[in-house]
């Protein structure tokens, strides 16, 4: 969800105004996802690197998240959308952790649609956390290292109960993944758009889906194999 800062700069507004508009775009994206039958949407809302931003901006982002969770609880329940957090969430401010746990618990029974929020997320941190957990399990004799395969490894990622993403969308014209779901996105289609996140609306969402629908996913096979 990149481009909030630039959206604000272009209008001579403070960066936080861009994030505020970004939060509105989050609500639109969530609605567009459900209306278009996208069952799981994962939003990269705060990375482990984002702590390095000025304190005012970090505080404002936490406040926006808190308000979003407060406002959206009823909406998520009404629309039967489950909330899942992906990331080191216990390191977030305590009141945010409590709010997240509350919303997760209140929506846990819903199985059709999921909103996953990547918070305090970094793919490298995730892999190291998984490696640590596996090493500990091996030390305790619960895992045989010689038999470890990717499926078992993936059971130690934050996304263990979520399928891999089919499509990754990055806004604002940057063409990089920035430490987002690096393992899970191994076979994902990637869509880069110059649109800044606050301007990403339902029309943009549909354009991304149409682009995705025209892709041929080969998973290492040849086009001929897939046709046969
Ligand atoms: C990147 O844009 C965006 C973020 C670091 C934060 C994303 C947060 C939101 C969209 C709002 C709050 C989230 C929720 C779930 C309510 P940037 O600031 O790096 O933009 P720039 O590259 O143009 O400076």
Say if 110 falls within a structural domain: yes
Average pLDDT of the residues in 43-63? 98
Query: Is position 220 within any domain?
Result: no
| DSSP-assigned letters across all residues of 108-149 | TT--SEEEEEEEEE-HHHHHHHHHHHHHHHHHTTSS-GGG--
Q: Give pLDDT, residue 217.
A: 81
Q: Is 217 within the bounds of a domain?
A: no
Rg (CA), the chain: 19
Per-residue pLDDT tens digits for 167-205: 999 999 999 999 999 999 999 999 999 999 999 999 999
What is the pLDDT, as a whole number, of residue 143?
95
Q: What is the CATH number of the domain that holds 131?
A: 3.40.1180.10
Q: Is 153 among the domain residues?
A: yes
DSSP helix/strand/coil, 198: helix
Q: In the chain, how many domains are there?
A: 1
CA of 50 to the centre of ligand 1 (A): 9
Q: Which atom of ligand 1 is nearest the CA belonging to 43?
A: 15
- Measured distance CA(99)–CA(105) in Å, rounded: 10
Residue 228 has pLDDT above 80, yes or no: no
Encode pLDDT of 96-141 as tens digits: 999 999 999 999 999 999 999 999 999 999 999 999 999 999 999 9
- The pLDDT of 157-164, averaged and rounded, is 98
The residue whose CA has the least distance to atom 3 of ligand 1 is: 2
pTM of the shown model = 0.96
In angstroms, what is the span from residue 22 Cα to ligand 1's centroid? Answer: 6
pLDDT at res. 45: 98
Q: Is 23 in the pocket of ligand 1 (CB under 6 A)?
A: yes
Please identify every residue annotated as catalytic: 2, 50
| Boundaries of domain holding 84 | 4-202
- Please state the atom number of ligand 1 nearest to the C-alpha of residue 18: 18
What percent of the chain clears pLDDT 90, i.e. is strictly above it?
A: 94
Q: What is the pLDDT of residue 223?
A: 87
Residue 88: inside a domain: yes
CA of 228 relative to ligand 1 center, distance in Å: 44
């Amino acid at each position: 969800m990149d481009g909030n800062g630039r959206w604000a700069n272009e209008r001579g507004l403070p960066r936080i105004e861009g994030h505020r508009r970004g939060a509105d775009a989050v609500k639109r994206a969530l609605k567009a996802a459900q209306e278009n039958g996208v069952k799981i949407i994962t939003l990269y809302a705060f990375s482990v690197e984002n702590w390095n931003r000025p304190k005012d901006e970090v505080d404002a982002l936490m406040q926006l998240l808190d308000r979003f969770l407060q406002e959206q609880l009823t909406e998520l329940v009404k629309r039967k959308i489950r909330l899942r957090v992906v990331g080191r969430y216990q390191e977030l401010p305590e009141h945010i952790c409590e709010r997240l746990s509350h919303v997760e618990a209140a929506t846990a029974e819903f199985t059709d649609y999921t909103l996953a929020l990547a918070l305090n997320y970094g793919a490298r941190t995730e892999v190291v956390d998984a490696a640590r957990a596996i090493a500990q399990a091996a030390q305790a004799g619960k895992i045989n290292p010689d038999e470890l395969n990717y499926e078992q490894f993936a059971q130690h990622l934050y996304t263990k109960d979520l399928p891999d993403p089919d499509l990754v969308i990055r806004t604002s014209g940057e063409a990089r993944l920035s430490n987002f779901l690096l393992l899970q996105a191994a076979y994902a289609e990637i869509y880069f758009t110059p649109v800044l996140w606050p301007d990403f609306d339902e029309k943009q969402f549909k354009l991304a889906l149409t682009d995705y629908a025209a892709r041929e996913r080969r998973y290492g096979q040849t086009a001929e194999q897939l046709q046969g």
